[in-house]
Copies of this chain bind each other. A is one copy, B any other.
């Protein structure tokens, strides 16, 4: 059984304008790797309805699991929930279960549960709520699409709520060897070694520090014994001096 495949859709002008450096992609990549879900693609699009809907439809058709980040707050630029509803052809309005959660939250806070805040209870018909212990306003899952907030603390809490509901496969294991030689010197024997292990992936990540060239070679796979075997062969090929 191969692992489920996943894609992420990051929604936000603030990432594309360079104002904010995205943090959620890196977090999700690490969590999915541990959970045995293969993140295969990430797209970042702006707060633009057609762009969001096109990306949603391409990704939900192409991957087992899709996670979105951003655009589910109370302001006019928060259009993700409506885009998801449109992509699925589902009806969307303020839903009683989400409204009840938020109404209780704002009552505890002594804040008004006004029209803008009620926008955060807009959930497509057929969706399941994703728990948000940080700021209450829920995410939601619609078939294989899981819609989450963009604020990193809230995104991370929602990922924790979601993961138990996603059946992962074998976690992707990796080991790495730091080789203090230029990539151009190790490339040929490394390529020949990689060809002997078709089930594993061999990545080479060059670096240069203080005029010295080196590469981190990473071996990845879900079979721990095979990764160990390949690492032993790699170490023999490039003995550390």
Chain A interface (Cβ within 8 Å of chain B)? 13-22, 25-33, 39-47, 51, 73-77, 106, 111-112, 114-117, 119-120, 135, 151, 153, 172, 174, 182-188, 190-191, 194-195, 201-208, 215, 218, 220
Contact = CB atoms under 8 A, between A and B. Distances in A.
A17 B174 contact: yes
A32 B15 CA distance: 12
Given A15-B26, A18-B30, A42-B42, 4 more contacts: A17-B174, A18-B33, A19-B174, A76-B187
Contacts of A207: 151
Given A14-B218, A40-B16, A40-B46, A116 B184 contact: yes
22 contacts: A13-B201, A13-B203, A14-B203, A14-B218, A21-B26, A41-B45, A41-B46, A47-B201, A73-B183, A73-B206, A75-B183, A76-B194, A77-B201, A77-B204, A111-B185, A112-B185, A114-B185, A114-B188, A115-B188, A116-B185, A116-B191, A151-B208
A17 B43 contact: no
B76 A191 contact: yes
